[in-house]
Structure 1
Amino acid sequence: PYLGTAADLNAVPEPLHVAVAVGNSRGRAAVVARLTSPRLAFATLVHPGVACAPYQHLELGAGCLISQSCILTTNIVLGRHVLLNLGCTIGHDAVLEDFCSLMPHANVGGAAHLETGVYLGTNATVINQVRVGANTIIGAGAVAVRDLPANCTAVGIPAKSINNEQ
C-alpha cells in the first residue's frame, strides 16, 4: 500500500506498478487521471479464486481488479480499470467498457454491454443483451431487463430510471 498524493506517486523515480481500488467509477477515473508519470504502470490483478477456464477468450484492460469468487465465462471484454468485487458473474460475449464497477454478487448476462463508468450495486443484475449507457448507476438488487440510457440512476425490478442527468 502507498499513502500519499498523486503528485507523490508521479514523482517516484523508479518504475512502479499501481492498483487503484476505488469502488466508485467516477472516483477511480479521477484518481487515474491524476497519475500521469510514464514510470507508473497500472497492474491488472486477478484473484486466484476466480473461476475462469484457460481456454476461454478474455480481454482484460490495464488496471482491472477481479476479486475472489468471480465467475468469468467466455469471449468477455473488460476495458481499462474495471472493478469486479466479490462473487460477480460475467456471461458470454459481455462487454464492460472502461471504469465499470460491479459491487459484490452483481451479475452481467450474456451479450450485455456496459458503457464507460457504469456502476452496478450489490446483487444488481443486467440480463442478456441489455445495453446500459455510460455513467449509469443500477441500484442494489435491481434487475435491468431493458436498455438504460446514459447518466441515469435505475432501481427496482424491473429497473427503472428515477432520474436522468443528461
Structure 2
Amino acid sequence: MYIYGASDQGRVVIDMVDGYERIHGVFDDNPHIASVLDYPVLGSVPLDFVFDHAVFIAIGDNRIRKKIHLKLKKKKVRFATIIHDSAIFSKRAVLDEGSVVMEGAIVKVNSRIGKQVIVNTGASVDHDCLIGDFVHLAPQCTLCGGIEVGEGTLVGANSIILPRVKVGAWCKIGAGSVVTRDVPDGKTWIGNGLKQKSLLKVSQ
C-alpha cells in the first residue's frame, strides 16, 4: 500500500503494517519531512501520479483526513483498511474504506464503522453502534451499546459514552469524560456536561 502522512499517525500506521505489507511509498505535504522510520518521504502527490496500489491516509486530524480523502477520491484511488491482529472485530460488524482498528481495540456485533475512521489503541465499541465517517475514537475510550457518533467527531481518551446516546457531527468529547445524554452537532462535552462553545464550522 501507499501511506499518505509521515508524522505521528504515519509512524503508528507504518509500525503496524510494515511487517506484513509492502509499503510502496510515503507521501506528505510537509516539505521538511524527508524520511519516516527509514522510509523516504516522496513529498506531495504529483498531479499526474497513478496509484497502482491501495492508499491509507495516516492523518490524525479529522478535517485534514476528510480533505485529503476527497482530493484522492477524485483520482479514483482504492483506500486500504487495516485491522490489527490483536483487535477483536465481529464478523457481523462492518468496516468501511480507509479505516483502521488498532491494537487491542474491540468492535462488537452489528456495529458499523464509517469511512476514514480511527479506532485507536484499546478503544471499545459495543454492539449496534453507528460510527460516522472521519471519526477518531481515541485510546481506551468506551462506547456502550446502541450509540451513534456523527461525522468528524473526536471521542477523547478514556472517555465513556453511555448506551443509546447520540453524539452529533464534528463534536469533541474531552478525555476522561462520561457522556450521559445526547450531544448536538458541533458541541464540546467535557467531564459530565456540555460546554457552550460550538465547534461546528459552516464551511464543512
TM-score, scaled to structure 1: 0.89
The more displaced of 6-15 and 123-132 is: 6-15
Aligned pair partner of 1:32 in 69, 74, 81: 69
**Does 2:81 correspond to 1:44?**
yes
How far the C-alpha of 1:10 sits from its partner, in A, is: 5.2
Q: Deviations over 1:56-78 (max 9, x none)?
A: 41111110111000011111111
Question: Which residue among 123, 129, 133 is the counterpart of 2:168?
Answer: 133
Q: Say what the alpha-carbon RMSD is for the aligned residues.
A: 1.8
Deviation at 1:136, TM superposition (A): 0.3
Which residue does the alignment assign to 2:188?
153
| Number of the residue aligned with 1:77 | 112
Count of aligned positions = 162
Large movers: runs of 4+ above 6 Å = none
Q: Which residue of 1 aligns with 2:133?
A: 98
Do structure 1's residue 13 and structure 2's residue 50 form an aligned pair? yes
Give the secondary structure class of the aligned counterpart of 1:63: coil
Identity %: 26
2:23 is aligned to none
**Of 121, 124, 130, which aligns to 1:89?**
124
Shift of 1:11: 2.8
Q: TM-score, normalised by structure 2?
A: 0.74
More off after superposition, 16-25 vs 80-89:
16-25
From 67, 81, 99, the counterpart of 2:102:
67
Contact (CA 8 Å) 2:167, 2:184: kept in 1 or not? yes
Shift of 1:24: 1.9
The answer to which structure, 1 or 2, has the higher relative contact order (CA under 8 A, 6+ apart) is 1
Structure 1 SS opposite 2:63: helix
8 Å CA contact 2:81–2:100 kept in 1: the answer is yes
Question: Are 1:21 and 1:83, in contact at CA under 8 Å, matched by a contact in 2?
Answer: no
Asked whether the equivalents of residues 10 and 37 of structure 1 are also in contact (C-alpha less than 8 Å), the reply is no
Structure 2 counterpart SS, 1:30: helix
Change (3 A) 1:4 1:71: closer
Q: What are the Cα deviations for residues 86-137 of structure 1, in whole angstroms up to 9, with x where unaligned?
A: 0000010000011110111111110000011111111111111000010000
- Going from structure 1 to structure 2, the CA distance change for 1:109 and 1:3 (only over 3 Å counts) comes to same
In the alignment, structure 1 segments of 5+ residues that lack a partner are none
Query: How far 1:3 sits from its partner (Å)?
Result: 2.6
1:3 aligns with 2:27: yes
Displacement of 1:146 after TM fit?
A: 0.2
